[in-house]
Amino acid sequence: MRECDPSSIVRSLLEEGMYRHIAVLVLLYREKKRSREEIIMSDLRYLLGGGKYLASNRYAESIVNSLKKLGLLNERKVKKFRFFSLTKCGEEVSKLLNNLMEDIEQPPRS
């Protein structure tokens, strides 16, 4: 397994315009902070659909596969349900992304 370099991964995600991937990582990070270790596919599809509708399964699947390939996401299956959580590297990357998001979301100081 390759070594995790969170800064390089964040830079790569931003440079490649992988904003939906970033949204998934930040969602997982924030849910983990709320003591929810895993989310299910429908949560991801709802997020990817902009919170108004469920994104297609194919689209969500492509994002999940990309994140798994990068070593940022774990998947666990129970019957017909699929649960997703962050890997150790995914946690480090999503923490950096979350901090960036919080900086952006804060109103400017006067």
DSSP symbols for 21-41: HHHHHHHHHHHHHTT---EEH
Note the pLDDT of residue 65: 95
- pLDDT band at 104, cuts 50/70/90? confident
pLDDT in tens, 66-99: 999 999 999 999 999 999 999 999 999 999 999 9
Query: What pTM, to 2 d.p., does this model score?
Result: 0.83
Question: What type of residue is 105?
Answer: E
pLDDT in tens, 32-66: 888 888 888 888 888 888 878 888 989 999 999 99
Tell me what pLDDT residue 63 has: 93
DSSP secondary structure, the chain, as one string: -PPP-HHHHHHHHHHTT-HHHHHHHHHHHHHHHTT---EEHHHHHHHHTTTTSPPPHHHHHHHHHHHHHTT-EEEEEETTEEEEEE-HHHHHHHHHHHHHHHHHHSPPP-
6-101 has which CATH code? 1.10.10.10
Name the residue with tokens 């990068």.
70
Q: How confident is the model at residue 16 (pLDDT cuts 50, 70, 90)?
A: very high
pLDDT at site 36: 81
